[in-house]
Amino acid sequence: MVNKWIGTALLLILMAGCTGEERSPLDTSIYNAESDKIGTATLKETPEGVQVTLKVEGLEPGPHGLHIHEFPKCEPPDFQTAGNHFNPLSKDHGLMNEKGPHAGDLPNVEADASGMVDTELVLPEATLKDDQMSLLRKEGTSLVITSEADDGMSQPSGNSGERVACGKITLKADGDEASDPTEPDKKEE
């Protein structure tokens, strides 16, 4: 009887290890308002939180706000479909706010004179694992770059200007959008 329980436990452990999709590292493509791919973000689970390695080009030189938003939707030109900042704990916005920050608040990034950003940042409260703080909960989230620097305090989003770029954070690869099987395939003419 004991051997049966041990065998069942081992089988369950093996099955649990095989059922989850690979979540880390996770790559996402970043697109501008014209739907041009301008870079990538790689998200990796670390003991400190989720490490974000951001490599983009084509931004205006200078500081830009960077936030994780609540939905994995990036419809140009304004990316409003991404929703609000990722904030499962209902905190105030801002890295400098004692009542904050949102879980999706990140430090500003600086585009060099050629419009490039190549940096690593950490989201200390976020995870890629199954959890309330997961960037992959429900359908996922998105990473949004804004036209101006985030001031770290203003509600609800840091007075950081327009949304200029967006990338979906999801386990579904780019181009794997679900389609309605009752609709005919769309073909370019």
Domain assignment present for 114: yes
Q: At 29, give phi and psi (nearest 5°).
A: -90, 140
Domain assignment present for 13: no
Name the residue range of residue 130's domain.
23-169
C-alpha angle 152-156-159 in degrees, rounded to nearest 5: 55
Mean pLDDT, 10 residues at a time, the chain of 189 residues: 48 40 81 97 95 97 96 96 92 80 89 97 92 90 95 74 95 51 39
158 class by beta-carbon count within 10 Å (0-12 exposed, 13-18 middle, 19+ buried):
buried
Domain assignment present for 104: yes
Domain assignment present for 145: yes
Q: Measured in Å, how far apart are the chain's first and last C-alpha atoms?
A: 67
pLDDT of residue 103: 81
Domain assignment present for 181: no
pLDDT of residue 121: 95
pLDDT of residue 5: 47
Looking up tokens 């950003």, which residue turns up? 117
pLDDT of residue 71: 96
pLDDT of residue 105: 85
d(CA 20, CA 6): 22
Domain assignment present for 176: no
Domain assignment present for 17: no
CATH number of the domain enclosing 79: 2.60.40.200
Domain assignment present for 8: no
- For the chain, what is the domain count? 1
The enclosing H or E element of 8 equals: helix 2-19
